[in-house]
Structures are given as C-alpha cells and as structure tokens.
Amino acid sequence: MWERIGAILRKEFIQTLREPRLRFLLFMPPLIQLIIFGYTVTLDVDHARIAWMDKDRTPESRALLARFQGSGRFDVVALADNEDEVQSILDHSDAHAVISVLPGFARDLARGRTAEVQVLLDGTNSNTASLVSAYSAGVIQAFAGDVRPKQAKNRQTIRVEARGPGGAAGMAAAPITAQTRVWFNPDLRSRNYFVPGVAANIMLMITLMLTAQAIVREREIGTMEQLMVTPMRPIELILGKTLPFALVGLTNLALVTGAALLIFRVPFRGNFLLLLFCGALFMMTSLGAGLFLSTISHTQQQANMAAFFFNTPAFMLSGFTFPIRNMPQSVQYLTYLDPLRYFMEIIRGVFLKGVGVSVLWPQMASLAVYGVIILTLSALRFHKNLD
Amino acid sequence: MSYRRTRAILIKELRHILRDSRSLALALAMPAMMLLLYGYALSLDVDHIPVMVYDQDGTDASRNLVRQFQGSRFFEIRGFGGYGEIRRAIDRSKILIGIVIPRGFSGEVASGRGAAVQLLVDGTDSNTSAIAVGYAEGVVQAYSAEWRARGGMPPAAPAIDARARVWYNSSLQSRNYIVPGLIAVILMILAGQLTSLTIAREWEMGTMEQVLSTPLRPTEMVFGKMLAYFLVGLADSAVALVVGVSVFSVPFRGNVLLLALTTCLFLFGVMFWGIFVSAGAKTQAEAFQLGILTTFLPGFLMSGFVFAIDTMPKVIQVISLAVPARYFVTTLKALFLKGVGLHVLWPQLVFLAVFAGLVFLRAVSKLKRQKVA
Amino acid sequence: MNGFAVEIHDMVKTFGDFVAVDHVSLQVKTGEIFGFLGPNGAGKSTTIRMLCGLLIPTSGSASVVDIDVAKAPEQVRRNIGYMSQKFSLYDDLTVEQNIDFYSRMYGVPRERRAERKDYVLRMANLTERRDALTRELSGGWKQRLALGCAILHDPPVLFLDEPTSGVDPIARAAFWDLIRDLARTGHTVFVSTHYMDEAEYCHRLALMHRGKVIALGAPAELRRGLNHHSLLRLDTTAPLDTMRAIEGAPGVVEVAVFGSGLHVVVEEAERAMEEIRRRLGAKGIEIRRLEKILPSLEDVFVAMIEAEERKAA
C-alpha cells in the first residue's frame, strides 16, 4: 500500500515541479493575492476628505478648521461658499462630509451658549459615514473642551475628571463617563483583522482548485482508466493525490504568515505550531471538498466551475468581511457548512488573541469531523470503475 | 466590417446559447440567486452587539444603567459575570464588549465626584468595534444626562453641538450600498464568464481553424459573439436590478435611461474583456481561471463595492482605474442613492466607453495575430 | 484451470435504454491471440472494459483466469494488462518515470524492477530514449511504451483496445510482431481492431455488431463459412445496370460494388452463374469476367453485417 502511495506521490511531485511555470504558479499567486488583499481590504478611514463651509468667518471658526487639519485624520479638500456648492461636492463624491460652521459660532462660544456646527455626511457608504461622523464629533468635542476647559468632556480611551459648570448652589454634577479599553487590536487597525483572514481564504482557494483539477485531469486525458486497472485501492489514490496538495497548502500558510508579519506587521500572539496543526485540519476539509467536487465533475472545466461555486459563497459567508453575527438566522445556520468559517475564527484567534486549544477546540473539532465526513464521502463516491 | 458575416456569427452564437438550455437557465438564474443570498446575508450594520455585564455595584443606579443597555436595539446582553467570564467570552468571540460597573458607582455618582464605567472591547474586528464603542459611549452619556435631569441639575450642555446630518442614506443602512455594489460585481463576473468561454471553446473543439479559414474578419467575430452574449447580459442585468429594487427595497432615485446606458457600456467593456482573455487561452479551463481571476478579484476588491478606494495606497488606486466595475459601482450607487444625473456622472460613462473601446481593439488585434500564426 | 483464459457467459451491458453489449458468450484459450472485430460502436470497448473490471455488467458473468470479474475485480487486475483505446500514459513524465511509476503501481517486487524495466525498454526499443519526455515520442513509440507498461507485472492475459489506431503501417507491423512474441511465451492476448489485415494475424476472431457476436471462429473457418454461400467476382461494361439486372434474381443473396467490379454473394455458384449470364445477355450487357473467388475477411464481414441489417429491418 505505502509503495503505491509513494509512487503516486513521486509522480505528482515530478509532474507539478517539472515546469518552472507551474512552480511559480503554486507559490507566487498566494503572495501576490495577500499583498493585493492586504492593501485593498481595509475599512479604516485614515484620511477622510472633508469640505469646509465657514459662515462665521471668525478667528474661532478658523481655529476649528486648523484643528481639523492638524488632526491627521482629515484632509480638507474644498472650501464651499453656499448650499449649492455643498450639494455639488456631495453629488460628485468629492468629499465624505461637509463641515459647516454656522453664523454666530464665535459669539455663542463667547457668551457660553451652545455653538453649532453642522456635519453633512455622504451616507452612500454607511460604514465610512459612521466613522467620519464619529471622528469629526471627536475633533469638535476636543476643541470645545479646550475652549472651555471647565467643561472638558471625556473622549475615547482617556478618563477625564469632569465637573459641572461650577454654578447652581455650588452643587457638583455627576457625569458618568465611559472608560474604554480595547483588547487585541488597540489601534483598531482593520488590516490586523483582514490579513490573517486572507491567508485562510488563499489556502482554501489553492487547495480546492488543485484537488478538484487533479483527479478530473487524469480522467480527461484518459490516464485514470489505466490507473484503475492496476491493483491500486481508492484510498491510496486519494492519499497520494491529496498529500502533495496538503503540503503545498501548508507551505503557502507558512509563506503567507511570514509575509503578513513582515509586510503588514500584523501581530502574531499565538502558537505557530498550533496554527499549522489547525491548518492541517482545515486542509482535510478543503482537500475533501476538492475531491468531492472532482467526483461529480467530468471535465476540468466543470471542476473549475464547481470549485468556484463552492469557493465564492464559502468566502462571502465565512465572516471574512461581513460579520456572521449580522446575517439572518437561516444564513447563520448555513455558515456551519462552511469550513472556512471555522478556520477564519481559528486563524484570527491565533494571530490576534493568542488563544490556544482550550478556546479553539470547538472549531478544531468541527473541522476534524467535517474533514473526516467529507473525505469518507468522496472516497465512497470514488469507484474504481467507469460506471 | 461586413454586416452579413457579423450577423451570421450572431445567429450562430444565439443558436449555441439557445440549444444549451441548461446553461442558459443557469446564466439567467445565477444573478438572482447570488443577489438574494448575498443581499440578505451581507451586512456591515452594527446592531445586536453581544455584551456581558459585570455589575460590581449592584445598586438601583447600576441596574438602571444596565436597563439602558437592554433597551437599546444596538445591544444584546448575553449574560452577567466577573472579569474571568468576560475574558473567556471575549476569547471565544461570544461577546464584543464587557461592561464593568465598578463598586461604589452609585455612591460616586451621588456624591458628584463623577463615576466611570469600564468598557472592555474586543478590537479584533476593528470596524465593528469602533462603531460599537461609539454606541456604548452614547448610551452611557444619555444615562448621564438623564441622571442630571433627575437630580435637577442643569444639563451639561456641550459647548459645541456637532449636529450630523446624513444625506442619501439617512438611516445608514449598509444594505443600501452593498446591494448596488453587489449587482455590479455579479454582472462583472457573469458577463466576463459568458464570453471568456466562447472562443476557447472554439479552439478546443477545433472549429476555430475552420472559421479562421473563411473570409471572416476578427472584428466581425468579436462583435458578433459579443452581441449574442450581450442579450443574455442585458437580461441578467434586468433581473438583478429588479431584484435589487423590489426585494431589498433599495431606493432608486436616478434616471432609468441613464442606468440602461451605463449598463450597456459596462457590459460591452466586460464582454470584450472576456473575449480578449479567451483569445489568449487555448482551453476552456484556462479561460475560466483567467476570467475569474481578472473579474472577480478586481470586481470585489477594487471597485469600491465595500472597500472604499480612496483609503487604499496610491498604487492600488491607479490600478483600480483599469477596473470597469469601479465606474459601474460608482454610477450605480449614485443612481440608486443620490439620484444625480449625467452632468455628474459623465466622466464615469466616458471611462466605461474608453475601456470598452480599448479592450475591443486589443481583442481584435490578438485574434488577428492568431489568424496569421 | 479449464484451459480458458477468458470466459464470458451471457453478458449484457446497458446504458439507459441503449444496449451496448447484448448477451455475449465466448471463450478464449490460454496462449491464444483473440481478435475482436466490428464497426465503431459495436460494443468492443465496452466488453473489454467489463473484462477489466472498469464497467460492471448489467447481467451475465465473466471470468479471467478463472476469477470472476464482478466478484473479485482486484484479483483480476493483478492478472491482466490493459491498454486503452486512447493513449493514456503521463506525457509530462519521461519514458523511464512512466515505467517506474507503473511498476510500483502493479506491485512488481523491488528486486525484479530493474530487470523488468530493461526488458520493456528493449522490447519497445526505447533504451536510447529512456530520458525523453513521453510527449515527444512519435505514435508508434508511444504505443510500444504503453504496451510495455501494461506487461511490467508479466500478466497472463492482455487486453488491448484498438492498440494500433492512428499508427503508421510500419509501426503497426512491428507492434504485431511484439504481440505474436507475447503469445508465443504463453500470454493470452485479447485484442480489438478494425483493421482487417490485422485480423489475419489472430488465432481466432469474434465479429461484433450492435452488441452481439455475429460470427466466431478462426479466420480460415470464417472465410470458408459465409453460411454456405459462395462469392462471385463479376466485371461488366455497365456495373450499375448490372446490379439492377441481377438484384433479386433467384439464388442471388447480395450484390455489392467492389473496386471496378461487383462482388455477388450467391446460394450456389454454378446455378447462379447461369442465371446471371442469362439475365445480362437479355439486357445486352457484356461480361468481362465472372468467376467464383475465395472471399477475404472483409467480404465475409461486410456480407454478415449486411445480412444482420436486413434481418433487423
């Protein structure tokens, strides 16, 4: 038995590694994909583009503008004079928001009345809009705090001792503040969240595609018929065919992890061996799925399509970009069928949270069960005949 | 270019398409299926944030605060427990925020020294976390204001009132921008696929050599093939748009004719692209992989579908200029949500037209070279 | 062993409504070269695939070296070599790598591998080209390599499914020399073909048509047989008019154009020749040549298949 598995392994390696082009295709696209994904997939708003409309035109309003410019989060890209220009700026998507300082801003501040600033947001991308809204409120509050230090307000992570407007019968007010501590990703960089997820998806894509192709190709060029008349057992063929791809997948995992650490400086807090082990568990499911697809396909073309139809929903529903928590209940149940879902949780847990088996065992167990089931299923479906 | 030969190609392709009724049904059902699944499933809205409460104080004041969180549609209290439980729940991604109300909370509030509530946040999913923290702070502030009011204290009016007004998508529903983007991405994949297989199939079956030996010109071939699949693409677009508007009730505020025009330009571009890819690949399998790689990834990543282009590095922004889905997504979002017209959108249309033209020329010249070779 | 290398009993294979193999029974003796003839789609490949355990018979049974193919396909596989219709070695491996791969797959004992490899390389005349990529070999060489890989484990029975299709005549002749060598060393060779000249090399033949075996026997027997009919060669000045004139005449079974003249199958030679002379004389058609000839295998098979077609209609 091992003799024959060895023979298939040797053959697969010779075939895959013979051509420089193929060697390149196995390891370069994952890295390229990681880099493209890593740079494109981000939900952070680092430099929100804003337009400024100053209807007050006082030193105070200009000070607020300077505050925005100095915050590092905003680029002031336009100055608007009237409502029509505001309309046009938002229509053309020239700015994410228009900040409009209303007349009497300085006067109200001086008299201790509430001064008004209007933030007009382009809500088209609701995510960007929420963030821009929160950031600009932050800048404005900080500015307000400086203008009236007596009434400083707490923001974000710092706890500020806050007092009431020291009046009314000398009675102190009782403001309650929120003290926020962010774990695992204190700067809230979305890249830290996405890059490990990309690695998971790349592994799925590569191994699924390769396995689905591998068996169908032999069937298409006719070599499968010749293999079937040898005393080889189905399990030998399956092991011999999938082990090289498992190796390719794990090598890619290591490569991509290295690149994530070096290029994107994503923190890695967990155990690398644990990650590799979970990668191997995950590989069982993706290789199993690939084999299963190859048993239902007759041509490489069909195998490709089947792999695509498996991979795309697996990717979309894995929680990679769109949190599973947000999905309708029925779709959430559906995601339990998605092996990528489990590995996504594992890889993020290991990278960012540094958690171990004690936390990740349910995901690991799910992958193991899933893998055994789908491998058995495809081994059963793989007959040594052409019927 | 001969009208007669182009029509001959068109008719032949239409016959292929109609004969293979299963593929045709699949091509027509696909956009609706994908849009339904993803449109329902994908959302970036942050609500029902799972939280755990550690109430060390256990007084009326602290319980009132907890009730505030319970009453908010943004939060869902998954349980009560100590630091250890919060830590474990965050490790297991069961909750996103742990709310700790310290001992002596009510006393400090009453004494006017000011009290702090601790929020322990899982920052892994930075985007959700940032928004969730904002909501949590909002709840705490509202509670604070209420407390003052009850104590007969004057409201701690912020010195500056930042009043946010949201245009176009006032409820900030992510579905309203995900669905138009999805339509664009789905059509990009589908339209590219439809044509990318057609020339590779002719190579694979050997009919290409036969066709190339006739006086047929590459221009006629590309145009005839594109037109046939264009009809399928149009039907797909109609299905996708109708589903988007009727099922997901995404507002449509723009001009229908403008939408039709943009869709046509976009389909031309992507379908020529499919033919171009196909002309380079000798097998359908190869054409499929190339097609997916060059439509799905750019369509998903560089179109502005979810990930805003202007936050990407400059190099990527420049690359994204060559992605037709980018212009289509921009136009769709503008037509759906903003309701703007040609005076705003003309650059997008020009880009789409230029893309279609350039790719058409490339596809033709590639086929010409093969005809000679 | 009862002396039969292959035994098929009442075997049927259907694909949906289509009956590919229709109650076939036959036996092949050990050491025999058994030829399997018939037009495309007659069911030859399906039969061979069932014997190799690649397809499961719908009903009936078959055994190879006394092992039932349905019950113990794995044991059968240790005793057979198979060459499929389509060339099916890895063309991105070298000649030697293909041989190494298959000798491990067939479980050739380690100590015998080198010897078997040498034998196959010599037999296929590929010793010089052992490091060549298989895709760079010409058709004849590929064919011999495929045969070599199929006999690495020295199986007693060989199934060759149209091994020489698409190979030039010289390579074909060389290939048949190999087959005859194998038979001489006690191997049973079950070979399908549609080249009539190759049929002459076989010890015995089966003719398949529409899933049925319609004739079975040694080439000489078949030629002699023709169901007790005789074959006449008839050359005239106007072949088409001649056909019209003698078709349906008493004693005339079949008229077919053959080269510049006609082949006429008749029930009894002397009586039919008389009748033909009489009819053509009446029409004023001049006879250049009319004689009884020994039928070629092709004549035999064409006549049989046409007879079958008439029966079916």
CATH code where residue B108 lies: 3.40.1710.10
User: Which of the residues in chain A have pLDDT under 70?
Assistant: 21-22, 147-179, 384-387
| Distance (Å) from the alpha carbon of B215 to chain A's nearest alpha carbon | 31
| Test the A interface: residue of B124, B174, B182, B289 with most A CBs within 10 Å | B124
Chains that touch C (3 or more CB pairs under 8 A): A
- Both A376 and A256 in a single domain? yes
pLDDT at A16 (0 to 100): 76
- Both C89 and C117 in a single domain? yes
Instruction: Give me the number of domains chain A comprises.
Output: 2
CA angle in degrees (0–180, nearest 5) for B351-B357-B363 = 130
- Both C56 and C91 in a single domain? yes
- Both B125 and B182 in a single domain? no
- Both B324 and B350 in a single domain? yes
pLDDT at B75 (0 to 100): 92
Phi, psi of B138 (to 5 degrees): -60, -45
Q: What span, in angstroms and rounded, lies between the C-alpha atoms of A105 and A61?
A: 7
pTM: 0.79
Q: Do chains B and C touch (3 or more CB pairs under 8 A)?
A: no
Residues of B in contact with A162 (CB under 8 A): 114, 156
Question: Domain limits at C197?
Answer: 4-223
Q: In chain B, what percentage of residues exceed pLDDT 70?
A: 94
Q: Which of C55, C87, C102 sits opposite A385 (nearest CB)?
A: C55
Q: Which of A8, A11, A228 sits opposite C54 (nearest CB)?
A: A228
- Both B315 and B206 in a single domain? yes
- Both B200 and B276 in a single domain? yes
- Both A272 and A373 in a single domain? yes
Residues of A in contact with B125 (CB under 8 A): 190, 193, 323
Q: What span, in angstroms and rounded, lies between the C-alpha atoms of A234 and A379?
A: 7
Contacts of B15 (CB under 8 A, 6+ apart): none
Q: Which of A3, A224, A231 sits opposite C77 (nearest CB)?
A: A231
Cα–Cα distances (Å) from A71 to A48, A109, A139, B37, in that order, read 11, 21, 7, 41
- Both C192 and C286 in a single domain? no
pLDDT at B268 (0 to 100): 93
Contact B112 A183 (CB under 8 A): no
| Burial readout C69-92 (b: 16 or more C-beta within 10 A, e: otherwise) | beeebeebbbbbbbbbbebbbbeb
Q: What span, in angstroms and rounded, lies between the C-alpha atoms of A316 and A325?
A: 13
Amino acid at B144: S
| Test the A interface: residue of B135, B167, B283, B309 with most A CBs within 10 Å | B167
- Both B196 and B258 in a single domain? yes
Question: Domain limits at B72?
Answer: 49-150
- Both C209 and C282 in a single domain? no
Number of Cα atoms under 13 Å in the Cβ half of residue B24: 15
- Both A312 and A269 in a single domain? yes
According to the per-residue pLDDT averaged within each range, which of B31-35, B214-218, C58-62, C192-196 is highest? C58-62
Q: Within 10 Å of residue C131's Cβ, how many Cβ atoms?
A: 9
- Both C184 and C303 in a single domain? no
Q: Above 70 in pLDDT, residue B181?
A: yes
DSSP class of residue A155 equals B
- Both C199 and C265 in a single domain? no
Given A147, A169, A202, the domain boundary residue is A147
The dihedral sign for the CA sequence A121, A124, A130, A132: negative
- Both C153 and C289 in a single domain? no
Given A147, A176, A209, the domain boundary residue is A147
If you count residue pairs, one on A and one on C, with CB atoms under 8 Å apart, how many are there?
79
Chains that touch A (3 or more CB pairs under 8 A): B, C
Residues of C in contact with A224 (CB under 8 A): 88
Residues of A in contact with B296 (CB under 8 A): 312
Nearest to C141 by CA among C119, C170, C104, C116: C170
Phi, psi of B92 (to 5 degrees): -90, 10
Residues of B in contact with A123 (CB under 8 A): 166-170, 172, 337
Burial class of residue A346, CB neighbours in 10 A (0-12, 13-18, 19+): buried
Q: Is A312 a member of any domain?
A: yes
Question: Domain limits at A303?
Answer: 2-41+190-381
pLDDT at C155 (0 to 100): 93
Q: What residue of B is the nearest CA neighbor of A190?
A: B126
Given C204, C223, C242, the domain boundary residue is C223
Contact B169 A92 (CB under 8 A): no
Contacts of B44 (CB under 8 A, 6+ apart): A43, A126, A127, A321, A322, A323, A326, B127, B174, B178, B306
- Both A246 and A313 in a single domain? yes
DSSP class of residue C60 equals E
- Both A110 and A240 in a single domain? no
Nearest to B177 by CA among A374, B185, A48: B185
| Test the A interface: residue of C54, C85, C190 with most A CBs within 10 Å | C54
- Both A130 and A211 in a single domain? no
- Both B145 and B275 in a single domain? no
Dig out the tokens for A305 from the structure: 């399509």
Q: Is B271 a member of any domain?
A: yes
Residues of A in contact with C77 (CB under 8 A): 229-231
Would you call A7 an interface residue with chain C, using a CB distance cutoff of 8 Å? yes
Written as tens digits, the pLDDT of chain C (313 aa) is: 467 899 999 999 999 899 999 999 999 999 999 999 988 888 999 999 999 888 889 999 999 999 998 888 888 888 999 998 888 888 888 999 999 999 888 888 989 999 999 999 998 888 999 899 998 888 888 888 999 999 999 999 999 999 888 788 888 888 999 999 999 999 999 999 888 888 888 999 999 988 999 888 888 888 776 656 788 888 888 888 888 888 888 888 888 887 788 888 888 888 888 888 888 888 888 888 888 887 778 878 877 887 788 777 7
Which strands sit side by side in the sheet containing A176-183, from one edge to the other? A176-183, B115-122, B97-101, B49-55, B75-80
Given A126, A147, A168, the domain boundary residue is A147
Cα–Cα distances (Å) from B227 to A373, B30, B194, B232, B267, in that order, read 46, 20, 11, 9, 10
User: Token pair 């000070």 is at which residue?
Assistant: A63
Given C223, C244, C264, the domain boundary residue is C223
Range B150-157 contact pairs with CB under 8 angstroms and sequence separation of 24 or more: B151/A173, B151/A174, B153/A164, B153/A168, B153/A171, B153/A173, B153/A174, B154/A164, B154/A165, B154/A167, B154/A168, B156/A151, B156/A162, B156/A164, B156/A165, B156/A173, B156/A175, B157/A114
Reduced to 3 states (helix: H, G, I; strand: E, B; else coil), residue B154 is: coil
- Both A201 and A133 in a single domain? no
Instruction: Give me the number of domains chain B comprises.
Output: 2
- Both B73 and B37 in a single domain? no
Q: What span, in angstroms and rounded, lies between the C-alpha atoms of B369 and B218?
A: 10
- Both C200 and C246 in a single domain? no
Residues of B in contact with A303 (CB under 8 A): 285
User: Token pair 């310290």 is at which residue?
Assistant: B102
Q: In chain B, what percentage of residues exceed pLDDT 90?
A: 20
Q: Is A178 a member of any domain?
A: no
Task: Calculate Rg over the CA atoms of chain A.
Answer: 29
Contact B114 A93 (CB under 8 A): no
| Distance (Å) from the alpha carbon of C293 to chain A's nearest alpha carbon | 44
Q: What span, in angstroms and rounded, lies between the C-alpha atoms of B56 and B58?
A: 6
Q: Is B161 a member of any domain?
A: no
| Distance (Å) from the alpha carbon of C43 to chain A's nearest alpha carbon | 15
pLDDT digit string, tens, across residues A34-92: 888 888 887 777 788 899 999 889 998 899 999 898 888 898 999 988 888 888 888 88
- Both A295 and A225 in a single domain? yes
Using CA atoms in the order B319, B323, B329, B335, what is the torsion angle rounded to 10 degrees?
Answer: 110
Q: What span, in angstroms and rounded, lies between the C-alpha atoms of C147 and A77?
A: 76
- Both A270 and A355 in a single domain? yes
- Both C100 and C133 in a single domain? yes
- Both B56 and B31 in a single domain? no
- Both B22 and B124 in a single domain? no
- Both C52 and C140 in a single domain? yes
CA angle in degrees (0–180, nearest 5) for C115-C117-C118 = 65
Q: Is A157 a member of any domain?
A: no
Please check whether residue C35 is in contact with residue C196, taking contact to mean a CB–CB distance below 8 angstroms: no
pLDDT at A52 (0 to 100): 93
Q: What span, in angstroms and rounded, lies between the C-alpha atoms of B135 and B116?
A: 16
Residues of A in contact with B91 (CB under 8 A): 349, 353, 355, 359
Residues of A in contact with C80 (CB under 8 A): 229
- Both C211 and C253 in a single domain? no
Q: Is B77 a member of any domain?
A: yes
Nearest to C22 by CA among C35, C33, C8: C8
Chains that touch B (3 or more CB pairs under 8 A): A
Q: What CATH number is given to the structural domain containing C302? A: 3.30.70.250
| Test the B interface: residue of A33, A100, A180 with most B CBs within 10 Å | A180
Q: What span, in angstroms and rounded, lies between the C-alpha atoms of C310 and A164?
A: 112
DSSP class of residue A184 equals S
Given C223, C256, C281, the domain boundary residue is C223
Q: What span, in angstroms and rounded, lies between the C-alpha atoms of B46 and B129?
A: 9
Would you call A223 an interface residue with chain C, using a CB distance cutoff of 8 Å? yes
- Both B21 and B64 in a single domain? no
Q: Is B210 a member of any domain?
A: yes
B118, containing H or E segment? strand B115-122
Residues of A in contact with B289 (CB under 8 A): 209, 304
Instruction: Give me the number of domains chain C comprises.
Output: 2
- Both C53 and C160 in a single domain? yes
Q: Is A62 a member of any domain?
A: yes
